[in-house]
Amino acid sequence: MLTTKPHVICEISNQDFGLPTASHTNYRIREASRGLLIHESEVALIYLSRFKYHKLPGGGIEKGETPEQAFHREILEETGCHCQVTNPNAITIEYRDNFQLTQISHIFFGRVTENTYKLRLDQYEIEEGSELKWIPIKEVEVLLKNDSTDDYEGKFIRYRDLKIWKFYIEIQF
């Protein structure tokens, strides 16, 4: 089976935020799936009221799942939607030195095929104040750019998700 190397949208480290960097050796690796979910002319974003920023839906890949299966599961849990998926064969890589973690996110684009209107949030997502927001496509980039947070993890998420959005715009238009 012929597979092509995924396109790396971005690699993010402490250096991108003016923070001290480490060697990134012996880091735990976490794989995740995330991306854009579009319904008509709106994009699903998750607003974390505790940290005051928006992020793309997605999360960790569970044992036995493929990245695409994880994307479908995460989309259903966080948005209540089923979707048709496009796989742009792209990833992001984050070196979160404070957690000794390398996170590799597999990126997907989805279009809503059905909305169940039933979210299934994890307890930590409830504690973070996760709220599903449908944002008009023309407002997404400004919203992601204008969000700010002092939260370490949030800095990575905001940077990563803006890069994913710009990648989407680049290949769609």
Residue 142: give its domain's CATH number.
Answer: 3.90.79.10
Instruction: Record the pTM.
Output: 0.93
Give domain status of residue 1, yes or no: no
- Per DSSP, 22 falls in state -
pLDDT digits (tens, 9 = 90+) for 13-43: 999 999 999 888 899 999 999 999 999 999 9
Give domain status of residue 48, yes or no: yes
Q: What does the pLDDT read at residue 104?
A: 98
pLDDT digits (tens, 9 = 90+) for 83-102: 999 988 999 999 999 999 99
Q: Which residues of the chain have pLDDT under 70?
A: 1-3, 173
Range of the domain at 147: 7-172
Q: Structurally, how many domains does the chain consist of?
A: 1
Give domain status of residue 2, yes or no: no
Give domain status of residue 77, yes or no: yes
Query: Kind of pairing, strands 42-48 and 53-55?
Result: antiparallel
Give domain status of residue 84, yes or no: yes
